[in-house]
A = this chain, B = another copy of it.
Amino acid sequence: MEPQGRPRRVTIVDVARHAQVSTTAVSKVLRNAYGASPEMRAKVRRAIDELGYRPNAGARGLRGQTYTIGVMLPDIRNPFFPEILDGVTTSLADTEYQVLLGPGCNGEKEEARVTEAMIDRGMDGIILVAPISSRGHMESVGTAVPTVVIGRHGASPAYDTVTDDDVEGAALVVGHLAGLGHRRIAHIEHHETDPTRLTEMPNARRADGYRRAMRNHGLEEWIDVVSTSYTQEGGYRGTKELLARPVRPTAVFAGADIVAMGVLEAVAEAGLSVPGDLSVAGYDNTTFAAFGPISLTSVDQAGRELGRNAVRLLLERIAERGRPSAQVTLSPTLVPRRSTTRPAK
C-alpha cells in the first residue's frame, strides 16, 4: 500500500538519482556554476524537466541565495507606485529573481515589521519605496542585506538611492504657471517637522523647490504655503483655507495628485470651476491625472525609470557588497493639461 497523503516534493536527491549523478552536479547546473561538463548539464536538465523539479528557496537560502527580492510599498493605494513596480518587475523578468511585495505599511512601526520580515525570510535584496522610516532603521536594513531606497534623498554608505529631482519638479510647475501669467500661486505641502525628514523627504524638497522657484520668478511676495498632508483630505482642507483668504490665489500647486483630488473636490463644492476660477497642478502624473474629464496638469516622475535604476543598483550590490554606495537622480517632466490656464483678468 502506498502511504496516503500528498506525494513528497521532488528534491535535488531525486534529480541526482534519476540523472545518475551527484547532488553537487545538480546544484552546479542549477546555479550555472563552474565545474560541469556540457553532457552532464544536459543530463541533469533532462532529469529536472522529466521530474518537474523546482528548487526549495528556503533551503537554498540557508547556504546561498533565495533568489527573492523584496519591495516595500508604503501605500498600495497610491497610483504612482505601480509604475515603479512595473520598472522593477520588467527589469527582473528575465533573471531568476522573484519579486515579493511587503504591503500595508502605514507608519514607521509597520515599515519596521515588514522590512524585518523580509530580512528574516532571506531576501537577497530589498527595495524600499518612499519609506518614512528613520535613517537609522534604513541603515540597519542596508547593513543586513543589499538595499536600494527609492524616493528619499540623503546619501548613506549602507544603501543606494534613486530619486527624482523634486526641486526641479516644483520649478517646472511654478515656471509653467508663471509663464501662463499667474502670480498668486499657492502650494499645499505635507506637514513635516522632523529635521532629518525635512532634508530627505520628497515632499519637503518640493515645498523648498516651490519657494525657490517663486523667488526666481520675482514672486516672493506671493509665496503661500498651506501645510496639511499628502492625502485627498489634506488637499480638501488646504483648499478650504486658501479659498478663505482675503486675496485668493489664482493657481494651486498640490504636492501630489492625490492632494489635487481633494483640491478639485473643494473647488467644486465652493461652486467654482477649474481652470476658470482656479488653475490646479498636481505631482506624480497618475492615471487619475490623465483621466479625460479631470485632465490634471502634473509632474511625471518616470516611475518606470526609478524602478529600473533601483534594480540595476541592487543587482550590482548583490554582486559586490563592498562597493561604495551610489545615488542616482532622475529628472521629472511636466505634463500640461486642461486644469491649468491663464488667470482670469
Q: Taking beta carbons and an 8 Å cutoff, which residues of A are in contact with B?
A: 6, 54-59, 61-62, 66, 68, 70-71, 76-77, 79, 81-82, 85-86, 89, 98-104, 113-114, 116-117, 119-122, 143-144, 232, 261, 264-265, 268-269, 287-288, 291-294
Contact = CB atoms under 8 A, between A and B. Distances in A.
A62 B57 CA distance: 10
Given A57-B121, A77-B82, A98-B121, 17 more contacts: A56-B62, A56-B122, A57-B117, A57-B122, A62-B62, A68-B121, A70-B100, A76-B85, A85-B104, A86-B104, A98-B114, A98-B117, A99-B103, A100-B100, A100-B117, A101-B101, A268-B292
Number of this chain's copies in the assembly equals 2
A100 B98 contact: no
Nearest to A294: B293
A278 to B, nearest CB: 14
Contacts of A82: 76-77
A121 B104 CA distance: 21
A117 B100 CA distance: 9
B6 A54 contact: no
11 contacts: A54-B116, A54-B120, A58-B61, A58-B66, A58-B122, A59-B62, A62-B62, A79-B79, A98-B121, A264-B293, A265-B293
A234 to B, nearest CB: 15
Contacts of A70: 100
A71 B73 CA distance: 15
B121 A58 contact: yes
B292 A269 contact: yes
Contacts of A101: 100-103
A86 to B, nearest CB: 7
A69 to B, nearest CB: 11
Contacts of A113: 98
A259 to B, nearest CB: 13
Contacts of A144: 6
Given A61-B58, A101-B101, A66 B265 contact: no
